[in-house]
Chain A
Amino acid sequence: MEIFEHGQWLPLVFVILMGVAILAYVILDGYDLGVGILMSLASDDRDKDKMISSIGPFWDANETWLVLGVGILLVAFPMAHGIILTSLYIPVAIMLAGLILRGVAFDFRIKVENEYKHYWNKAFITGSFITTISQGFMLGMYIMGFEYNIYTVSFSLLVGICLVAGYSLVGASWLIMKTEEELQLKSIKWAKASLWLAAFGMCLVSVATPLLSERIFEKWFTLPGFFFLAPIPVLTGLLIIFLEFTLRKLPYPKDSYCWVPFVGTVMVFILGFCGLSYSFFPYIVQDKLTIWEAASSKESLEVILWGALAVIPFIIGYTIFAYRVFWGKAKELNY
């Protein structure tokens, strides 16, 4: 195989690593952004505190996956990094403002006097919304090949709004798993409400991508590829229906199956991500730049790869450790 010569396989490995990092980010920061969004619906302060407690020990590490994802884009595909980030200059800046706001609000709110706390709560909620909408907007723009006109911008905004629903869904599923009693019941309601808007968003992206690019259209709708790929949308659809029914039945006695919505939602995200990556491959910038054209030198990629292979098992190991330490229902946080 030609691909195994001259280190041609390296960019492929890195694009997979980057995909995994971005997917991990979307799921992990997705649930804590989602909790931030849902806080706008929570009425009393005890609920708000509990919601924050459920994500407190994790959000720092969750955001690190974003640094890793962008980091791999930066170090492994410097050409693409420049093009993508300068094309998304304004939405990136807005997203960063949102991330800054919510990240610090998180810490400030437990340290200030009670009378100021609700300002930081608001900052946390606003930051979560801003971050999510701009991330969805960037996804939309990425699909649209970075062309700015009234149609692409409205499409991207719509994707942004659907992503709010998507993150609310993971966030609510996370809360179903991590909370009890009234707050859990509320979370079930929130999950139900966001499920179908999130599903609509996925349809929107799935329909738009093949229509925009002939190359992608051919990939999906020619034989025999069609049969190999059909399971992705079919499974996604089934999972969404399954989630709907599960949410109607929850909560079960003794809180059994409280983890089902979260796992189901994560699977939906994974399937959606796989579909999207398959559409774009081998391009890293839609129909302009392939992963091989954008990649760094073979030597540098090798150096990073060995480091990554040595370190990633540890990262996974201690991440699991941290989740086990905070396993079970969220308790009050103080330090």
Chain B
Amino acid sequence: MDALMLARIQFAANISFHILFPSISLALAWILLFFKIKFNISKDSKWLDAYKFWVKIFALCFALGVVSGITMSFQFGTNWPGFMQTVGNVAGPLLAYEVLTAFFLEATFLGVMLFGYKRVSNKVHTIATFLVAFGTTASAFWIIALNSWMQTPVGFEMIDGKAYVTNWFEVVFNPSMLYRLTHMLIASGLTAAFLLAGISAYKWLKKDKSVIASLKTGIYLAAILIPLQIFVGDQHGLNTLKYQPAKIAAMEAIWKTQKQAPLLLFAIPDEKQKTNHYELGIPRGASLILTHSLDGEIKGLEEFKDNHPPVMPLFFGFRIMVGIGVLMLIISWLAGAQLLFNNIIKPWVAKLLVTMSFSGWIATLAGWYTTEIGRQPWLVQGILKTAEATAKNVSSEMIISTLIMYLSIYVFLIIAFILVVFNLAKKSIKLESLV
């Protein structure tokens, strides 16, 4: 494999590992604030118990997010020196604002939130919880602004091969930014909601009745967010069709420009022969979904020559994301209905919820792969190709050796994380029965 591909795999490995933890902590921070406020108002200890249990998982996610985030700030330079050299004037301030407005805020108040419980007043502690939640969201805002700008760059001019900003408002609120931000925030909400519901269901199955508060919070939150997410995802897709039609063509594996394009449920895209095998589709489906008309024309991959992303990962990445979304809809509504009508969930539904605990991770990763691989061969759409940004003085051997190191650490930590989460859940049950 060449150095470019290895550098991409390494960066992808790191950024995939990283996103797992913010995708939980982003929403979990607000859920914790919710628990805290519920407790402040009701003084019911079940909310405090929920807070105390989930704050541990939050701290763990936060630590994993911080260390993998630090890795990223270095890998910009080690893997993609050409990125900052070309668009540093845009990316620099956005990243700087993230560190300044978000990182310090969340990291500092996290200390107060975790360890200051007995040292500050309840009010200050609630404010600290709020500031941590606010900080994580602010952090997401700046990062999504930059990522969206890489997909749909506006508000700048190129002089001697370098980008110079002409309008900061346009840069930050570029055409895909608000769609992507909303999509990501809800994705985080769903990831946290299913983790909350899954772990609570696990404890509930072990006869711990006290978790009903967090179980309900998780299920209802998921049931409310999933239809919203489907709507926002659809809007985001239309936005992508307008600005990055090649990405949509690859996602739907549409090779030739056509009206009445079918929605493929399954196919094996063949990059060499530029066609699909074993197609199974709904006639006119893609036209209907993407143009909201049965005869809508969709540009095929043929229009983009070789400047289109690889089809296979996008086609399947998108379908995995949507597939999990559908599962989330069915299960959360099922559980929600049982809660609503019987005030209790059936054991088999609880078991389903347990298996769905980390489903948000898979959907989030599949979605990010779709959108980021969908940007290829560009690093910044239309301005800078990924191949032009690599480091010239870093050899494949160096990348391979560090890649193996990173991957083994990541795999180990993901396993450790999942085991510790379930172990914490188990331990907190033991305590319950002792009381």
Contacts and interface: CB of A to CB of B under 8 A. Distances in A.
9 contacts: A57-B114, A67-B103, A82-B85, A90-B398, A100-B409, A104-B63, A304-B92, A315-B104, A325-B116
B402 interface: yes
Interface string B168-196: 10000000000000000000000000000
B99 A64 contact: yes
A90 B404 CA distance: 13
Interface in B62-108: 62-64, 66-71, 73-74, 76-78, 81-82, 84-85, 88-93, 95-97, 99-101, 103-105, 107-108
B431 interface: no
Interface string B106-122: 01111110111101100
A326 interface: yes
A70 interface: yes
Given A60-B108, A79-B85, A308-B100, 10 more contacts: A60-B62, A68-B104, A74-B88, A85-B81, A92-B74, A104-B67, A106-B63, A300-B88, A307-B96, A326-B115
Contacts of A335: 52, 55-56, 59, 114-115, 117
For chain A, give the interface size range.
35 or more
B66 A108 contact: no
A182 interface: no
A100 B120 CA distance: 30
A290 interface: no
B41 interface: no
B115 A113 contact: no
For chain B, give the interface size range.
35 or more
B402 A108 contact: no
A317 to B, nearest CB: 10
Interface string B137-170: 0000000000000000000000000101100100
Contacts of B116: 57, 325-326
B95 A312 contact: no
Q: Is the interface of A mostly helix, strand, loop or mixed?
A: helix
B77 A297 contact: no
A97 interface: yes
Interface of B: 52, 55-56, 59-60, 62-64, 66-71, 73-74, 76-78, 81-82, 84-85, 88-93, 95-97, 99-101, 103-105, 107-112, 114-117, 119-120, 162, 164-165, 168, 391, 393-394, 398, 401-402, 405-406, 409, 413, 416, 420, 423-424
A297 B96 contact: no
Contacts of B89: 296-297, 299-300
B112 A322 contact: yes
A111 B56 contact: yes
Interface string A294-335: 001101100110011001100100110110011000000101
A74 B84 contact: yes
Contact of A57 (B62, B111, B391, B406): B111
